[in-house]
Structure 1
Amino acid sequence: MARMDFKNDVFISFSHIDNERISDRFDGWITRFHMVLARLLSKHLGSEAKIWRDTRLADGHVLQDEIITQLQQSAVMLSVISPRYLKSEWCTREMHEFCEHARRSGGLVVGSTQRLVPIVKTPVDGPLPPVMKDVWVRDFFTLEDGVPIEFDEAYGEKYGQDFLKQVLQLAFRLKEALNALRGNGSPVSQKPVVYLAECGHDRRRDREMIGGELLRLGYTVLPDRRLPPDEDECVAVVDDMLSRCALSVHLVGAGYGAVPDGPSGKSVTIHQNERAVARAKSGGLKRLISLPATTHSEQPAQQAFVKALREDAEVQYGADLIAGDVEELRASIRATLEAIERPAPVRVSQVEAEVAEQDNGLIYLICDKKDRERKIANPLRKVCRQLGFRVETPVFEGDAASIRKAHRDLLGACDAIILFYGAGDPTWKRAMESELRKVGGYRRGKALPARYTCVAGESTPDKQEIVETEDDGLIVALEGMTDAALTNSVKNAFKNRGLPQ
């Protein structure tokens, strides 16, 4: 990118009513915003940030030559959006003057750098101006019981902290943009590109925190601008961005999210998930979905989406579902990116290579960790190996992302699955059965594996009921059984489901 020289780093365009004090204890919001941004941006740049704003004129005065000059000499315009800003002839004129001059002097978008940066201090009715159609917008407010509360320490310490965090994120983005405009950007990153999907308002803070962390670590994060409000355009842009990404991360919560104008009526959250599924099926995209276990939505369409993510293998296709908090998601993102950047030998690829040399194939023996520790599953493993099968059990060591990947890779590679009901309790068994209903999503077109259930270890009423009501595909390995009885049970089950025995 060619070097561009500017007198000012940032021009702050704002309505003066938004700088009026709401408490005698604090300066106006714009004054504090300017001060904090200048300090944080200077820290990131390593030199004094030059930020200009009009401290004298009130709305309604003629746009003077000085302001035009300052506009023309500014690398970036930062527009503080509020209801008054959009109603002010002079604020909107500043914005249009900057955009027109930018277009004549290198462009409003240079490379991937946006020179118009809107922040929404107070929500507005209706759409933003057309010039901001595809521009990334940052919110400086939150919704509580449907009421917008600005990030402002005047409303309490919590909102003051949110204000500082949001300005910090903004300062980092501005530093990257200014370096790029001046030709001082870092060499093109060789790290994977991450698609951090837009989400509902209730997960936005988590998304911004993760996005900021990824940027600080040198990753390119998409979307880098606002998605189009038209459905067809939105889908096309998402497809284009996903084609450049190695990982997509989806944060799903109670909020349905924005709905593009189009025939489907689907939220942008659902569109992004569907396009990521399509990309994952064509290969080259890892996926993580953050869906906390307690998530419930009062919106029927969103609750149906939440339910589908948990139960429908097609909706969840190719993704690890993270049911924990944002810290678990961060750990999974780190582990996934490390695996993408430094691919290690994959255990299952070795398994598949060995299985290819055998006649009878691979059995995935799904058991609880206690089964392995207490060696409850050992007799069954021995019988299966004697019948010419290779047997693999779940991976229990390592980080959560690696464990899930090994599990799903084995589900995709195996020829048969034995659900080993030994030390696990009925809740564990139901959870595993729910997971196995999604197995088709991990097979990439391969036929479904044969399915068996083995009741083993200590006899319980629940296990006895299974023995009395199930026949086809049931293996009985309860305590006290002889090796011969166990072998016969395995052979009969395999015969009924078509496996060699």
Structure 2
Amino acid sequence: MALGRALGRDADIWMDYALVANAQVTPTLIDTVRSSRALLLVLSPSYQNSEWCQRELANFLDNNPPGGDREAVFVVEQYPVDRLSLHPRLQELTPVQFWVPDANTRTPELLGWPVPNQDEHNPYWEKVNYLANLLANHLRAPLVKVLQRPPAAAAGASPVVWVAGPAPRMAGYWDQLTESMRLRGWTVRPVSRDGYPQDGVAALREALDRDMDGARLLVQLLGDEPGARLPGSDATLATVQHAAAKALQQSCSGMKYLRWRPPEIDLEQVEDPDLREILFGATRCGFEQFRQQVLEALDHLKPPPPPAPAGDGMTICLAAGEKDQALCDEVGALLVERGWDVVSPSPVPESGENPQTFRETVDEIIRNSDAVVVLYGRESHLWIEAQYARTVRLLGRQNLALGVIEAPPGEKPPLKIASRNLQTLDCRGGIERDAVAGFIARLGAEHHG
């Protein structure tokens, strides 16, 4: 029900009751897994120990390569899980944790156990709604034709941001913020919000030094709860993390350390003097405003991708209207054959898709491509001109690698575009393979040279 509300329509949901009973994986089950757009895993000891469940996961991952910085797998944690025991592609994902550590003993407490109450502010229902919106955003994204997936980025190439381990009541905010960061290509440390040892200051500082090494930005979400004192010390998790972040900020020129506290916190009501001092210097605003502030800071810090070699290794956004999809398949296959990677977004949203989300996703494809090639066959010249204007708006004239291939039929209105940035290839008499390949190579050479 929550997913249907977030998605705006009913979702086709299949649950593997057979695997729960540890039944044998059947061809029908495998086909169902392979054809699914998303996989929701509820991690438990029995799931991890099931040979059939692991086979189900492997089949899904084999048929769903990661899309940029996104996975089509969503992980629900009922209890703490050793990350290293998971499939390598799951180890960096942020699970939606349906448990919280006890404030004093740190033992895990399952949310909603044994039966969740109906209070809408119950953390259990907040987690359900958060998970439903994650799934809905994934399902609303339009499917695109990826004729060859771009090669994976080199290991360790993703820039690092450190987000302090939160107090229990800040856990939901931590999940939302770190998910936004990962979607933008950042590596978040620590991997999980409950990943830091709290059995002593020395062990905690060692873990912090390891996670902060190489970080480009430091972030801490603060509440009004001081947390338990670490053994043998008056310090808490919040104060030790703050001290480590301040020390790194002071030793690294230009390092930013962003702190946030909810606007409803009254400093005069905070009894712990150390926590009150940390809160005093934190940004006081709504969470969404702070999240945007952090994302803007990340956008300024992330280095631009290195230019691809001319005519080699480029990822091309191949755009075609509804009337030119057959032409798009033909040209796309030609480009892949010559060694380029091609992504061809659908010209219109699918039935039930959110138009705004569709437009934003296509914009993101254009931004992340090395070149945009528009096919002008039977589609209206107005559509082609609109694609030119859209690409210029997104990429800017100084960073523009845009070409138009004019395909059959020969008789059609000329394009009303006058620009030195636009390269055109006349193939109105028929698609010539060598001419198209040479055109793309020149487009890449001019852009990257």
Shorter-normalised TM range:
0.3 to 0.5
Tell which structure's C-alpha radius of gyration is larger.
Answer: 1
Greater relative CO (CA pairs within 8 A, separation 6+): 2
TM-score, L = length of structure 2: 0.43
TM-score, L = length of structure 1: 0.39
